[in-house]
Amino acid sequence: MSIRWPIGESIRLNLTLIVSGLWISIICLSSPLYAQKFEFDGRCQKQSIDFIKIRNLIVIPVFINNKGPYNFLLDTGVAQMIITDTTFLSALNCGKCKTIKVQGYSMSDEIEAVLTRNITVKVGKSTIKNMPTAIFKTDIFDLSSYLGMKIHGILGYYFFSSFLVKVNYTACKITIYNPDTKVKRKGTKIPIEIINAKPYFMAEMNIPTQGKSSVELLIDNGSSHPLMMESINNQPFPLPDTTISANLGVGINGQIRGKMGRISTMQIGNFPFENILSGFPIFNSQRSELEGETRNGSLGADVLKHFLVTFDYSHNALYLKKTSNYKNKFNHDMSGIEIYAKQDKQEHFFISRIEPDSPAEQAGLETDDEIISLNFQKTQTYTLTELTEMFSDEDGKQVIIEVKRKDKNYVTLLKLKKRI
């Protein structure tokens, strides 16, 4: 069976963009499944859950069929639950499950996935039975390497539609409320529309060649980027004057290429932003056809983290309250290095890609180099997020970097450079 199920364009991303727009449409599922909800145990009406924040992304503990906890990304850009850990195929006894071929709009090859509803999911004190789930037969995204910790899957629509969900990026805590509970919504109300199980809203943006315009954006907190602008009037989104070529991520068929640049101004409700970093993927008109929605782009977690964010799907609303992060600037990687992590007895960091004509290339660094130390401090003392921030820190900053290449160590001076 071959179904053209739209899949997210970007999974592995460079130092500032990790997960962008991963989604599977629920067009193949019957409408009664929309009624499925997570339900609190007993008389519980609210609960706070700590999460791990990695490169702006939210990782929460999830129990599946009374086993776990497993690490799942919490992502508004996903409909069904997605399991990326292939060991679940045998653990869940999926022999009688339906196998489909998944195809993304930017891919040439199809990837097999198993569909099942024989899964009970527990998050904190809430449970959902018969969760619609797609389990990939190949771990094509390798999220664990690119986030520096074991990631088992992604949870989306069914979680957000079940609760009032408040996300505190500063405290790394989400609080979920029974939607029938009377809770004061803090912040400015932004109307949203749920289309194919994903939230959209309208923003004002200064578009090159067109001036101030209204744009429709997918709210994608499973993407660490600030913005990803794709099209307008079914044509490629106009590029700013200054851009650089970039690897914007990895989909099923490989790297997603495009440009990186900045949008001069954007307004969300009464919140203005300036010089927002944005990706501009190579235009592909098939996306709208497959997704069924002619969005202009997506808003990622690097913007959302400026706020205390409350998702209220049941009332088609998003609430934003400014935090101390609101004035933080949108920094871009200044090294040209993409990093992934491997774990055995300790964590090891490797260079997966180097941007042409970047400071990293000029410093003589190469793909597959293992980063041993930065400024004579062993990399094992850093987290993946801290390494990311170090390479986006300050224009002109010099970093002494030691790498291992074919069992030999090399030391070089890397000078960061603001490129956009």
Q: What is the pLDDT of residues 172-218, one digit of tens each?
A: 999 999 988 888 888 999 999 999 899 999 999 999 888 899 999 99
Give the mean pLDDT of 54-73.
94
Residue 107 pLDDT more than 60?
no
Whole-model pTM: value is 0.86
Q: What percent of the chain has pLDDT over 90?
A: 51
* Mean of all residue pLDDT scores within the chain: 84
Of residues 183 and 299, the one with the higher pLDDT is: 299
pLDDT at 203: 97
d(CA 322, CA 269): 12
CATH topology agreement for domains 2-177 and 188-322: yes
Would you say domain 2-177 falls under CATH 2.40.70.10? yes
Give the mean pLDDT of 78-98.
81
d(CA 415, CA 335): 8
Residue 9 pLDDT more than 50?
no
Which residues, 6+ apart, have CB-to-CB distance to 215 below 8 Å? 202, 203, 204, 205, 207, 229, 232, 296, 297
What tokens appear for 264 in the block? Answer: 């001069």
CATH number of this structure's domain 188-322, picked from the four choices 2.40.70.10, 3.40.50.1970, 3.30.420.40, 3.50.50.60: 2.40.70.10
CATH superfamily of 337-415: PDZ domain (2.30.42.10)
> Closest by alpha carbon to 325, among 311, 304, 310, 346?
304
Residue 105 pLDDT more than 60?
no
What are the extents of the domains in the chain?
A: 2-177, 188-322, 337-415
> Closest by alpha carbon to 58, among 19, 26, 23?
19
The 10s digit of each residue's pLDDT in 357-406 is 899 999 999 999 999 999 999 998 888 888 888 898 788 999 999 999 99
d(CA 407, CA 402): 13
Residue 39 pLDDT more than 70?
yes
pLDDT at 4: 31
